[in-house]
A and B are shown apart, each in its own frame.
Chain A
């Protein structure tokens, strides 16, 4: 069974630009969560999608948004990039909403210059 895939793996952007990251969950998994990982703050929850609806949200500004498609694939968008948005963005999929067993992808390394 293929794991969680994320594209692209690496991205370099400049301040003020916007970026879209993509996540394909494990086949059959319906829940997708997004996390931001930085050395200073660690892993922080962004949001979780299930059945194309955002079900839970972390404490991030509105510049961070996401969506989920009918095939459970998900995208995350960050608008008006700031230097502090440089991080590893991880996507995790699970069978159900609020399920303990989450499977993480390799992440997208975003650098904002």
Chain B
């Protein structure tokens, strides 16, 4: 079983739709959870990160972590064509341990149609 699973999509939605992106994981030691956005021919850029379980909101983006289910989500409200990109989840253990490297999902390709 892969440590992090992410549906690759592609996901196509109309402008203004609410988008839900998800990842599951198997390593219960993961403590930090991130979402990155990667445009074509660019490096990933960090959107948000959360520590442990709970919700975090930043503008149109909301990140949710459910550690009991080992499930994380990113919601995009009022999606825009400029949100079209590949979204990658990433997670890592606490820096106090020996394995704090980032582990990424394979990414979900999102297209928002005008």
Contacts and interface: CB of A to CB of B under 8 A. Distances in A.
A107 B39 CA distance: 12
B56 interface: no
B107 A45 contact: no
Contacts of B44: 43, 90, 104
Interface size class of B (residues with CB under 8 A): 20 to 34
Interface stretch (B62-70, B71-79, B94-102): B94-102
Interface residues of A, number: 22
A70 interface: no
A97 B95 contact: yes
B42 A106 contact: yes
Nearest to B44: A104
B88 to A, nearest CB: 7
Contacts of A11: none
B41 A106 contact: yes
B105 to A, nearest CB: 7
A42 B34 contact: no
Given A97-B95, A98-B95, A104 B104 contact: no
A40 to B, nearest CB: 9
B34 to A, nearest CB: 7
B103 interface: yes
Interface of A: 4, 33, 41-45, 48, 56, 58, 90, 92, 97-98, 100-107
Interface of B: 32, 34, 36, 41-46, 49, 88, 90, 92, 95, 99-107
20 contacts: A4-B43, A42-B88, A42-B105, A42-B106, A43-B44, A43-B90, A43-B104, A43-B106, A43-B107, A56-B99, A56-B100, A90-B44, A98-B100, A100-B49, A101-B49, A102-B46, A103-B45, A103-B46, A105-B43, A106-B41
